[in-house]
A = this chain, B = another copy of it.
Amino acid sequence: MSAERVDVREKVLSASDQLAAEIRARLEANGVFAVNLISSPGSGKTTLLERTVDLMKESLRLGVVAGDVQTRNDADRLLRHEIPVEAIETGGGCHLDARQVSKSLEGLDLSKTDLLFIENVGNLVCPSSFDLGESMKVVLMSVTEGEDKPLKYPAAFKRARVLVLTKTDLVPHLQFSPDHAIENARAVNPDLTVFSTSSYTGEGLAEWTGWLAGQVAVLKRNKGSGESAGP
């Protein structure tokens, strides 16, 4: 890569990081806990979100920013669950960027949001390099993807706070060891919190949503505003 290109890239990244910092400040000012969901295409991000919002929307005020390379399919699926959803179509772009997210947040009332999900483009490589101002990154990995994914795509696992293993109902039909996969993930990032889930059977969803609710509660308490987290 030429020095010229690196310079331009650094400028672009730095402007993006600046904007991410602004988003983070806006979210914090409004007491919003924001989760940036990263995974391969087809790992089950949207289905997990559908189950998650159904379990959480009675007790917390939710919002979603749903990114896709093309189509509004994911956003449309989530809108059926009667929560505020903003769609981003990247038009070929391989990750969400802070500019897109910042613009989408204009469509949501952050003062009435406790928990925001940002569903990134399906891509285990590029999205992990971009700060969107989120509170934390969550990496999803389905049990059909093979145990060595954390070793082969380490950046996403390194930068995530949480690993959600999805589609565990399929384990009996696969040559896949969840323990081995989790061991590989922890070799890359020993601090990962791990949830094993099936959006089909519901396994692990109470633990996952309970943990998320706890994160929101901690944020509210630290903010010390005494605001209600109820809808």
Quick check: is A149 within 8 A (CB to CB) of the other chain? yes
Given B1, B68, B126, B148, which contacts A126 in the complex, CB threshold below 8 Å?
A: B126
Contact of A71 among B1, B141, B152 (CB under 8 A): B152
A198: min CB distance to chain B, Å: 12
User: Which B residues lie within 8 Å of A41 (CB)?
Assistant: 40, 124, 145, 149, 152-153
Of A4-12, A25-33, A130-138, the stretch lying at the interface with chain B is A4-12
Alpha-carbon separation in the docked complex, A70 to B156 (Å): 12
Interface size band for A: 35 or more
Chain B residues, CB < 8 A from A142: 42, 144
Pairwise interchain contact A125-B126, C-beta atoms closer than 8 A = yes
Q: Which of B4, B70, B73, B126 touches A94 (beta carbons < 8 Å)?
A: B126
When the two chains form their complex, are residues B42 and A151 in contact, meaning their CB atoms are under 8 A apart? no
A153 interface neighbour in B4, B122, B146, Cβ under 8 Å: B122
Judge if A218 is at the interface, Cβ distance under 8 Å.
Answer: no
Find A170's partner among B4, B69, B122, B170 (CB 8 Å cutoff).
Answer: B170
Give me 12 other A-B pairs in contact (C-beta within 8 A), A8-B8, A94-B94 excluded.
A1-B12, A41-B152, A41-B153, A42-B141, A42-B144, A42-B149, A68-B152, A70-B152, A71-B148, A122-B125, A123-B123, A123-B126
Closest 4 CB pairs of A and B: A42-B145, A94-B125, A144-B144, A40-B40
